[in-house]
Chains A and B, each alone.
Chain A
């Protein structure tokens, strides 16, 4: 893409944290503004140009019918679509509703439930439209986001690693918290990108960047989680920011069923 790409940053159901990551890139912000045409970035500017766009950078998940239709229109208005963050790539923390009775949640939370029109599930953007590139994370990592932007400018596919969180841990010299402290950790089955922050502070990985390419979920539960925590706690750990990422979801459902079977036989 040799001319200045016209970029729109569009949000659906999300906390805005991923867009903030772009604003956090203070040292690079002027270069970004210089290299691209930021046609629509509501968090940064009152300029809100209509499409078509070369690239739509999409944050957030689809949780209402209104948003679903807005997304379908947006897809027709952009050449490439890049989704950023756990909400857009797996449904986000709000996908916890997928495991429960959504109507019951609405009745419990809102004074006038009849005014709430939301879908029963929170789903990633790619469940509805074709997505050209997904950038993981809760929130996305600044340097990975810059890699995506600079790739768009240079006109090649972004180079973001698909390795496990363990590998940046090891390169940094972080001692494994599973082995040395017995702390349950999602690192071995989670994709890197965050810089392996939590284990460097004596915490297990929370899986913010979602599952690796070929995660051995059952092997991980058996070997890493269940020797150190109950099935219920393992379910809660897997149901975090990427609860509805397919492999995390399947494993948390499997572990939940184990607890249910055991409870019913008691």
Chain B
């Protein structure tokens, strides 16, 4: 098989915005094809042969998580999930009685909503060794740790997740400082997006203008039908794979069925957040007494920031050996909900749950815009589902800004 070159079009530093704008303009000029379900396992095998690692959805620990996928049989075929604030339940698709859909009992590979993991763990790893230093007779010797390059496929990336990756591209690549770990991992990525054909009760991507349809930022995008996948090309790397698959062109009927299914996701999204002037509206409410009400429920446990696909805080620690002649510098995910993160001379700046929740929410939805020229929220709903006490930011924003939600 022809080697697939990821370098040019996946070089996120220079081309992510370019390729996305190209793609939006010339969307229909990229080829579309039909991948029958029978050929799908061979497609996963092909990806595994061509890349070091294929990361995709699989059932584990009572949820659909992202992990290495070696064959199509490991995908969550026939599984789905039911979500609400603070609650996630894995279900067999056939057990869901959903009269709104034509294919309620049908077994799909991607018939689920976004789960507890996000792709961020592959680009901005939870724990990384940055440097090692050793004391020698010539003094301290520093050694930067370069991780082995892995060419990864991210399989099943949803529209809100593409938007989250685009936001983290800004944070880690194009807003001044370049993070070399993120950059290397990002440049060796093939993104296979999947259009949502359903939505969870916690989804609100339509309010954040980030989905549910994948419009840019992917190499290939697929829409799952009962008998196969509509495959759409989004980049040269995607084109190379597309050509090797030798797919037949799609029929008008298949295009219509795909459109109907994507529309179903839009119909199922009922959660809304009013984003008009949200920056100024939120920042005018800094002394609203409702922050105290939220603080009585919020545990400051940081789950929301850990599951958020855009949260990027980390802390760096030096861990030294007992012998005091070897030091390892480690970076790990941190959170604005930790008291220590704002610890300056004299103590923590944000010493109450109220101040920490306010910091998180106003940064995510308001001051993020000042910082990165985009909202920090993509409407994936993870912080709602995975909050152990079920705090729903869309409701809190509505109350803070006194809207009837």
Contact = CB atoms under 8 A, between A and B. Distances in A.
B302 A167 contact: yes
Interface string B310-353: 00000001011111100000001111001110000000000111
A96 to B, nearest CB: 25
Interface residues of A, number: 46
Interface in A26-49: 28, 31-32, 34-35
A28 B322 contact: yes
A252 interface: no
B90 A154 contact: no
Nearest to A32: B322
Contacts of B62: 175, 180-181
Contacts of A162: 338-340
B324 A154 contact: yes
B319 A147 contact: yes
Q: Which of A162, A170, A187, A222 neighbours the largest number of chain B CB atoms within 10 Å of its CB? A: A170
Contacts of B319: 147
Contacts of B321: 31, 150
A236 B300 CA distance: 23
B352 A180 contact: no
Contact of A163 (B89, B116, B297, B335): B335
A175 B296 contact: no
Interface centre among A35, A149, A173, A176 (most CB of B within 10 A): A176
Interface residues of B, number: 49
Contact of A179 (B87, B295, B353): B87
B61 A188 contact: no
A266 interface: no
B179 to A, nearest CB: 18
A216 B386 contact: no
A213 interface: yes
B388 A224 contact: yes
Contacts of B333: 167, 170-171
B391 to A, nearest CB: 8
B388 A219 contact: no
A219 B306 contact: no
A62 B293 CA distance: 40
A262 interface: no
A166 B303 contact: yes
Interface in B375-397: 385-390
Given A180-B88, A223-B86, A175 B63 contact: yes
B302 A216 contact: no
B322 A35 contact: yes
B127 interface: yes
B335 A173 contact: no
B303 A173 contact: no
Given A180-B116, A214-B352, A223-B388, A159 B126 contact: no
A175 B353 contact: no
A218 interface: yes
Interface string B142-157: 0000000000000000
B130 to A, nearest CB: 16
A185 interface: yes
A150 B121 contact: no
A189 interface: yes
A228 to B, nearest CB: 10
B65 interface: yes
Given A163-B338, A188-B301, A176 B116 contact: yes
6 contacts: A150-B321, A162-B338, A167-B306, A175-B65, A178-B86, A220-B389
Interface of B: 60-63, 65, 86-90, 116-117, 121, 126-127, 295-303, 306-307, 317, 319-324, 332-335, 338-340, 351-353, 385-390
Interface of A: 28, 31-32, 34-35, 146-147, 149-150, 153-154, 159, 161-164, 166-167, 170-176, 178-182, 185, 187-189, 202, 212-216, 218-220, 222-224
